[in-house]
Structure 1
Amino acid sequence: MIDWAKGRVVQCKQLENRPVQELRVALEGAAAEMSLAYHYTDVLPPVKVGDRVMLNRTAVKLKLGTGGIDFVCALLNDGDSRDDGMIGLNDNDGDGSQAGRSAGKMMKLRYTPVQRAVHAVEEDGGGHHAKFRGKLSLEGMPVLIGGLHSMLPVALCWLRFRIGQSDGGKGTSVAYVMTDGGALPLAVSQHAAALRGLGWLCGTVTAGHAYGGDLEAMNKYSALLAARHSLHAGIAIACMGPGSAGTGTRLGHTAIEVAELVHAVSALGGIPIVMPRLSFADPRERHYGLSHHIVSALSDIALTPAIVPLPASLEQARRLFVERQLERSGCGAKHQCIWVDGVSVAETVRAMKPYPHSITTMGRGLRDDPSYFLGVCAAAEHAFRLLPSQADGVPAAPSAEHGDPLPG
């Protein structure tokens, strides 16, 4: 089911560093509603106030959070009331921001009306093909794996904070691998654009049907390898774009891909470090303490062990609650769960201060839900300690003597 509507643009704003316009659209018809819509200028020309547009309103009609905004799917020529007066998705005479990058033969969003050709990093003709013909590995690179997009800026803030404190870590670069578990266009992410603009990311790779990264990749495996061998990252952060979705069931949620990423990193010779989704502010029982999203991915699906760092600064009662969760679920026995010291609320505030945008999870910021931020920073801290440049100065190996291991 798709809900369509026509309307006229009454406000228009170009989003910074992104091929996206944010529009206010007055809808046609008796309801006279006002719509907030996104318009991608990499597939259609930019619009201006007064233009008529066709919108996909499906998620808004369903009152969804994930994808819960209207999207422009066509521009309508004034003076032609027929639908064949539409400017189609391939008629972009606008900024052409993707035009120079569409020489490849890999189709993303395949067999849909908006399928697009991109140049995959693995393809011939782009400068990386030869290396991908051989057998590559991640060469022991730490990979931070997350189940929510908001983990990306939190982890980057902590890594930049710690790298800035360490003479040995200043040459370390961080890449973002965006999977197709959430939003598919990288352009949706304000955080990815901001982090790239700040120079905190050495590049982005969009995997599977996600698109718009500095590099495009066929799948999670080649995306991770591209982060290491094409972007020369010392650490990678792998998680979906904005828009985690779930059904309230054990396995019916997009964060289940955390297990797939653990498998990919392990198979390729990297170090899988799972950023825990912790909360003691979420009113939903299934997301209290360790979210059931992360627990089900690690206990039911993951076939290889991962490192799961947790913040030692959690107050004792909450720490015991998490320990019980890990013991009951079997995660404590199946994975290397460790308590990481040195991550406090005060230090997290310092780490996030240089970042110019607010970071929230389910609408809650650091003050509202500190445990979430501490969990992500604990994982980032552990990844930092694994860097070769830190081996002599900071505990690095993921073994019991380098953290406070959980029972079981």
Structure 2
Amino acid sequence: MLRWERATVGTSKTSWPGVDRFEAELEDGTTIPALAYRELTGKPVKGEQVLLNTNALRRELGTGGEALVVARTEALPEVEEITGHMVKARYTPQQTMVDAIDDPDGEHYDTVRASTDIAGMPVVVADLHSSLPAIIAGIRARRRTARIAYVHTDAAALPAAYSRTAARLRESELLAAVISAGQSFGGDLEAVTVHSALLGAKHVVGADVAIVIQGPGNLGTGTGWGFSGVQAAEALHAASVLGGTPIATLRVSGADERDRHRGLSHHSSTTYGKALLAPVHLPVMSPTDSRYNSFHESVRKQVKSTILKPAKKRGVVHEITEVDAKGLRDALEEMPVRMTTMGRTLAEDYPSFQYAALAGRCAADRLPTS
């Protein structure tokens, strides 16, 4: 079901590359916040009429706090001709044509076609988009000049442009590229699968580390398997079969009110303990670290009982990888983006970001020293 509403474009709000935000005046005179993807609709002009989809806004969904522009009724966006023929958001009314790195007509096709593996490149996978800047902070705390690519998967927000965080990280040159994989679109590079996105990260972008996470808008149901973050298992499988070094970010919280997410989240237990068919690194805080306390000991025990044991019964042997946390707080606070997860800030739920940063540092520790 789509909830349609007509509106007039009003005052512009804070925007970022690929996204235009503004106040929209409805037919009854009230105003609501609205968002347009320039790739799909062009740039809305103040005073013109637009058609909005207000589903998420009217349902008060956490991520979808704005109406989305479906069309500008008085203007058509300019058509930018491309050489490729790959379609994203396929068979929806707003399916979009892209130049993909694995498109036979694309400039990177020969490179991707000739690539067979990613030569041990560390691939850090997480289920929450809020982990992205924290993972980068962890990498940079050890290897400040590491070249990092972010693969935006299609389990949540399909438009890569929706991520204000990724846009800011690109502007700050903390990300070398955003690659939109699967049905997601709008990155610096497009890929048909996570596999080809990882090949592109290594051989087109020249990345030292790749990070794979769904976009904003994680979907959870409270059931054992009904959450979009389970897709992380597929990304870790891709990293493994391509000869990378798979690193699984633990979803941890010290402040979540829901028991299933306190300490080690059941999402990590399910994804890494039950869905994974390949061994991965599971970064935890080193017991020799002066910051190690009963909380970290509890997380470690949860990892052993809910991830290692179930996986081993299926013949998969993961590795608990101890990482020191020295300097990570400073590295996190230096990041040029606001750190929040599930509405909680760095100060309110530090462990959530700390464990993502540990995963980043784990990746940096596996880079060549020369």
Instruction: Report the Cα offset of residue 115 of structure 1.
Output: 0.8
Larger radius of gyration: 1
The amino acid across from 1:6 in the alignment is: R
Q: Which residue of 1 aligns with 2:71?
A: 74
Deviations 1:164-199 (A, max 9, x none): 3xxxxx3x3111111111111111111111111111
Q: For the Cα contact (< 8 Å) 2:169–2:336, is it kept in 1? A: no
Distance 1:123 1:330 in 2: 38
Q: 1:146 aligns with which of 117, 121, 126?
A: 126
Q: Which residue of 1 aligns with 2:77?
A: 92
Instruction: Report the Cα offset of residue 318 of structure 1.
Output: 1.4
Distance 1:199 1:356 in 2: 11
Q: For the Cα contact (< 8 Å) 2:100–2:192, is it kept in 1? A: yes
Deviations 1:354-376 (A, max 9, x none): 33221111111221111111101
* 2:31 paired with 1:34: yes
Equivalent residues in 2 for 1:14-29 (5 A)? 15-16=15-16, 18-29=17-28
Instruction: Report the Cα offset of residue 14 of structure 1.
Output: 5.7
The amino acid across from 2:5 in the alignment is: A
* 2:306 paired with 1:329: yes
Q: 2:110 aligns with which of 118, 125, 130?
A: 130
Secondary structure in 2 matching 1:37? strand
The amino acid across from 1:316 in the alignment is: N
Distance 1:264 1:70 in 2: 35
Distance 1:280 1:355 in 2: 21
Q: For the Cα contact (< 8 Å) 2:180–2:189, is it kept in 1? A: yes
Deviations 1:307-340 (A, max 9, x none): 1101235643212322332233243554212331
Q: For the Cα contact (< 8 Å) 2:127–2:251, is it kept in 1? A: yes
Q: Which residue of 1 aligns with 2:7?
A: 7
* 2:194 paired with 1:220: yes
Equivalent residues in 2 for 1:40-59 (5 A)? 40-59=37-56
Q: For the Cα contact (< 8 Å) 2:24–2:34, is it kept in 1? A: yes
Distance 1:48 1:215 in 2: 28
Give the number of the structure with larger relative contact order, counting CA–CA contacts within 8 Å between residues 6 or more apart: 2
For the structure 1 residues 311 and 254, does the alpha-carbon distance in structure 2 shift closer, same or farther, using more than 3 Å as the test? Answer: same
Deviations 1:274-318 (A, max 9, x none): 111110100011111111111111111111111110123564321
Q: For the Cα contact (< 8 Å) 2:282–2:320, is it kept in 1? A: yes
The amino acid across from 2:300 in the alignment is: E
The amino acid across from 1:46 in the alignment is: K
How many aligned positions are there?
A: 361
Secondary structure in 1 matching 2:361? helix
Q: 1:111 aligns with which of 91, 99, 110?
A: 91
TM-score, normalised by the number of residues in structure 2? 0.92
Q: Which residue of 2 aligns with 1:340?
A: 323
Deviations 1:1-42 (A, max 9, x none): 1111111222113613x121111112113xx43211101122
Secondary structure in 1 matching 2:117? coil
Q: For the Cα contact (< 8 Å) 2:5–2:53, is it kept in 1? A: yes
Instruction: Report the Cα offset of residue 75 of structure 1.
Output: 1.6
Q: Which residue of 2 aligns with 1:272?
A: 246
The amino acid across from 1:272 in the alignment is: P
Secondary structure in 1 matching 2:103? coil
The unaligned stretches of length 5 or more in structure 2 are: none
Equivalent residues in 2 for 1:193-272 (5 A)? 193-272=167-246
Q: For the Cα contact (< 8 Å) 2:149–2:211, is it kept in 1? A: yes
Deviations 1:222-246 (A, max 9, x none): 0111100111111111111111111
Q: For the Cα contact (< 8 Å) 1:66–1:245, is it kept in 2? A: no
Q: For the Cα contact (< 8 Å) 1:183–1:240, is it kept in 2? A: yes
- Give the fraction of aligned pairs with identical amino acids, expressed as a percent: 36
The amino acid across from 1:22 in the alignment is: R
Distance 1:112 1:266 in 2: 32
The unaligned stretches of length 5 or more in structure 1 are: 78-86, 165-169, 391-408
Q: For the Cα contact (< 8 Å) 1:279–1:291, is it kept in 2? A: yes
Q: Which residue of 2 aligns with 1:80?
A: none
